[in-house]
Structure 1
């Protein structure tokens, strides 16, 4: 069955994850916190929901908020 959703923190880490998955684009979804939306991958065998948070975005409770807003 596999993983269908990932929450990733850190700009460098987010870039590495997206690259390793072979993502060619992202569809923007609902906002988790200002500047940080849920996204869906393009170019992967099946769509994967990603929350990609750089160090400068997201609230203190980002991970809880993201989990509660899982698509």
Structure 2
């Protein structure tokens, strides 16, 4: 009797983002949209954030613990027309 092969099993990747470095050389990241921001944090494997200065009411700058990465995670209608310029300046430490 011939042996039957089992179907391929898909397993989650065991790769983890680098622990203390930036991601692909990126050290500042601004996202817009609550779902997008959540997906970015999850996709990068970020488990803890340190709250930083306020960029706009309800939107602080945050730093990924253990990494050289700061983020602005904007959701919904937060921020004015110049939010992205303010966010990049804040993340660069120029505010």
Choose which of 39, 42, 60 in structure 2 pairs with 1:16.
39
Gaps of 5+ in 2: 1-23
Gaps of 5+ in 1: none
Aligned length: 69
Larger Rg: 2
| Structure with more relative contact order (C-alpha pairs < 8 Å, separation 6 or more) | 1
Q: Deviations over 1:23-69 (max 9, x none)?
A: 11110001111111110012x5x231010000131112110111222
Superposition misfits of 4+ residues, deviation over 2 angstroms? none
Return the structure number with greater helix share. Answer: 1
Return the structure number with greater strand share. Answer: 1
RMSD: 1.5
Provide TM-score, normalisation by structure 1. Answer: 0.86
